[in-house]
Amino acid sequence: MSDFILCNWNAWTPGLDFSDDRLMTSGNAAVPECVPKMLQRRLTPLARAVFNVAAPCVESGKNLPVVLSSAHGEICKSLDMLKTIQAGDEISPTAFSLSVHNAIAGLFSIAYGNSQEITVLAPGLEGIAPAFIEALGMLNEGANEVLMILYDEPLADFYPIAPFNLNVCFPCVLALRIALSGNGVPLQLYRNTQSRDDGEHPVQLLAFIKFLVAEERSLCLGNQGHSWTWHKK
């Protein structure tokens, strides 16, 4: 069991209908002005959304260690490149550099001059729990605060999904700032042995965003025999 404080959060989910200042639900995510011009052109819509939720979550000018978590990352870019190769054309070096799983983390560290520890996870069936475990590990090793960014966008129709529950039909991006003490919402994370079927990372991420804005005190997410409970104390 692990106790921690949710200091702040911001989310971008253009498919949810909740009224909460921390939740952006419409429009395209703009590029934050603090991002240098020459870097702005490299930001995909998903990267823009990540930058938009991460910026208000952290005190201006403060660089925290970061954990990013995404099942599919910029998979649409990878698919475009595969199509280019199939057509016999050469692929763009820029597109390649922006398609890798830590591309958004790289852009983020350059834009904000963040040289703290940054970890990028690609959890599937294990859902969103590994990101919390990683971030809690950093806190217990001495970090005062950790920024967590969880994101996924819909998969292209090209990919067969059935019978897996791993797709949401709109992008979900969530930034959380957590600490072991201080002001915020006290949360508890613990493992349980319930056999559940809550879908993979993108589906769990949407459920967690709903949990943040809802009245419910507890949320259990997992698959097969591995499940985790988040409890608002």
Partner 1 sequence: MENELKQLIIDALDLEDISVADIDSDAPLFNDGLGLDSIDALELGLAIRKKYHVKIDAEKEDVVKIFSSVTTLANYIKSAQG
Name the helix (H) or strand (E) containing 145: strand 145-152
- With respect to partner 1, which residue has the nearer C-beta, 96 or 159? 96
d(CA 177, CA 191): 21
Question: Which of these segments, 6-14, 33-41, 76-84, 150-158, binds partner 1 (CB under 8 A)?
Answer: 33-41
- Name the phi and psi angles at 113, rounded to 5: 60, 35
CA angle 206/68/148 to nearest 5° reads 75
Closest distance of CB 44 from partner 1, Å: 12
- With respect to partner 1, which residue has the nearer C-beta, 87 or 169? 87
Residue 97 touching partner 1 (CB under 8 A): yes
Closest distance of CB 94 from partner 1, Å: 5
Residue 94 touching partner 1 (CB under 8 A): yes
- CB atoms under 10 Å from CB of 172, counted, come to 27
Alpha helices per DSSP H over the chain: 37-40, 45-57, 75-86, 93-99, 103-112, 129-140, 201-213
Q: Which amino acid is at 119?
A: T
- Of 92, 102, 194, 229, the one binding partner 1 (CB under 8 A) is 92
Are 101 and 118 in contact, with CB atoms under 8 Å apart?
no
Residue 17 touching partner 1 (CB under 8 A): no
Closest distance of CB 103 from partner 1, Å: 11
Are 68 and 120 in contact, with CB atoms under 8 Å apart?
yes
- With respect to partner 1, which residue has the nearer C-beta, 90 or 197? 90
Residue 38 touching partner 1 (CB under 8 A): yes
Residue 41 touching partner 1 (CB under 8 A): yes
Question: Which of these segments, 36-44, 133-141, 183-191, 222-230, binds partner 1 (CB under 8 A)?
Answer: 36-44
Closest distance of CB 54 from partner 1, Å: 22
Closest CA to 194 of 168, 215, 221: 221
Question: Which of these segments, 27-35, 92-100, 199-207, 209-217, binds partner 1 (CB under 8 A)?
Answer: 92-100
Tokens of 3: 């106790």
Q: Which residues are near partner 1 by CB under 8 A? A: 37-38, 41, 90, 92-94, 97
